[in-house]
């Protein structure tokens, strides 16, 4: 009797050990360029492991990132990578931090250098291939699943006009000021909303301080266009004859996605605000400053 029981247990163990698990890899077509950001956003990568009726005791995920020509530029250090056990319900969900743990991924050549310097890979098309394997001998437990993705770092707009430290004529500026900037690159899947903000720099403030503390005189959302004509409807007289300071302004563009969220939240200031520029309005053109 005992022999029969042992035989049944051994058979189950054998089936479990070599059981073919089903898996499905879901990967965004254009994930964030910053690889460390993949782990913070569950929608970027999901690997579904299913083994109906069988509990897989331990398994690891072997991951490879390849270029279009099939060259492997990164793979998992399986000796150090964490092991997982399947969910008793039969379906296990793994995310980017589990599938491509950056601390255990080995990148090669220029890709390693790019990752060290920028946290990103060079802009290009890549393929991610994953496969569940046994932890000890790395024998495959399922099929290899591959998905292509495109990586390109998002470049925020560069402000063009008024250019930095441009001095505008008071009379013209009181009627209209034209703002221009470059579009977000690469072109997004949905049109970008550009939030144009103009802040007055008060006496005793420095420009970035004004940007971070004042209510903007202009706060306008512009849909998919890179020019805006502002009619300020303000008087740009010098504030006080004591200061003898030209009215000073700082302006910037915040790039928003279709949900009105900052288009990049992991780069730079995290607000998707472009590097601001300063402009002045000269109230004394054609006349001497007040004494």
78-117: which residues touch another protein (CB under 8 A)?
101-103, 105-106, 114-117
Count CA atoms within 13 Å of residue 27 on its CB side.
Answer: 23
Instruction: Write a three-state SS string for 257-283.
Output: CCCCCECCCCCCCCCCECCCEEEEEEC
What is the DSSP code (8-state) at residue 181? E
Best CA proximity match to 162, nearest among 5, 39, 280, 275: 280
The answer to whether the CB of 275 falls within 8 A of the CB of 159 is: yes
Phi and psi at 289, nearest 5°, equal: -60, 150
Among 14, 186, 221, 258, binds another protein (CB under 8 A): 186
- For position 222 contacting another protein by CB under 8 A, the verdict is no
Shortest gap between Cβ of 8 and another protein (angstroms)?
Answer: 42
- For position 76 contacting another protein by CB under 8 A, the verdict is no
State how far the Cα of 83 lies from the Cα of 185, in Å rounded to an integer: 39
- For position 140 contacting another protein by CB under 8 A, the verdict is no
Among 21, 33, 56, 253, binds another protein (CB under 8 A): 33
Q: For another protein, give the closer residue by CB, 24 or 175.
A: 175
Shortest gap between Cβ of 270 and another protein (angstroms)?
Answer: 5
Question: Residues touching another protein: how many (CB under 8 A)?
Answer: 92
- For position 72 contacting another protein by CB under 8 A, the verdict is no
Binding segment for another protein among 12-20, 48-56, 87-95, 184-192 (CB under 8 A)? 184-192
In the chain, what are the helix, strand and coil shares in percent, each to the nearest 5? Answer: 20, 35, 45
- For position 261 contacting another protein by CB under 8 A, the verdict is yes
Among 68, 163, 165, 244, binds another protein (CB under 8 A): 163
- For position 190 contacting another protein by CB under 8 A, the verdict is no
What is the DSSP code (8-state) at residue 102? G
Name the residue with tokens 């703002």.
179
- For position 62 contacting another protein by CB under 8 A, the verdict is no
- For position 172 contacting another protein by CB under 8 A, the verdict is yes
Among 6, 26, 237, 258, binds another protein (CB under 8 A): 237
Best CA proximity match to 134, nearest among 60, 77, 47, 55: 60
- For position 227 contacting another protein by CB under 8 A, the verdict is yes
Among 70, 88, 89, 215, binds another protein (CB under 8 A): 215
Distance from the first to the final alpha carbon of the chain: 112
């Amino acid at each position: 009797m005992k022999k029969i029981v042992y035989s049944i247990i051994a058979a189950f163990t054998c089936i479990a050990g070599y059981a073919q698990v089903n898996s499905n890899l879901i990967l965004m077509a254009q994930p964030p360029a910053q690889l460390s950001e993949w782990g913070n956003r569950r929608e970027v990568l999901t690997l579904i492991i299913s083994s109906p009726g069988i509990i897989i005791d331990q398994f690891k995920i072997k991951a490879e990132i390849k270029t279009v020509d099939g060259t492997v530029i990164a793979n998992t250090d399986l000796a150090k990578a964490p092991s997982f056990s399947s969910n008793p319900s039969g379906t296990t969900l793994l995310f980017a931090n589990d599938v491509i743990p950056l601390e255990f991924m080995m990148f090669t050549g220029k890709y390693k250098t790019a990752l060290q310097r920028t946290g990103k890979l060079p802009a290009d098309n890549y393929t991610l291939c994953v496969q569940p394997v046994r932890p000890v001998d790395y024998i495959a437990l399922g099929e290899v699943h591959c998905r292509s993705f495109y990586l390109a770092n998002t470049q925020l707009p560069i402000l063009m006009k008024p250019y930095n430290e441009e001095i505008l004529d008071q009379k013209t500026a009181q009627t209209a000021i034209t703002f221009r900037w470059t579009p977000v690159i690469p072109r997004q899947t949905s049109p970008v909303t550009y939030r144009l903000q103009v802040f007055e720099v008060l006496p005793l403030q420095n420009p970035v301080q004004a940007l971070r503390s004042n209510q903007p005189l202009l706060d306008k959302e512009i849909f998919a266009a890179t020019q805006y004509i502002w009619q300020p409807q303000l008087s740009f007289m010098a504030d006080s004859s004591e200061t003898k300071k030209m009215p000073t302004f700082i302006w910037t563009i915040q790039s928003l996605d279709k949900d009105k969220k900052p288009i990049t939240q992991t780069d730079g200031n995290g607000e998707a605000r472009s590097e601001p520029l300063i402009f002045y309005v000269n109230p004394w053109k054609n006349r001497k400053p007040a004494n």
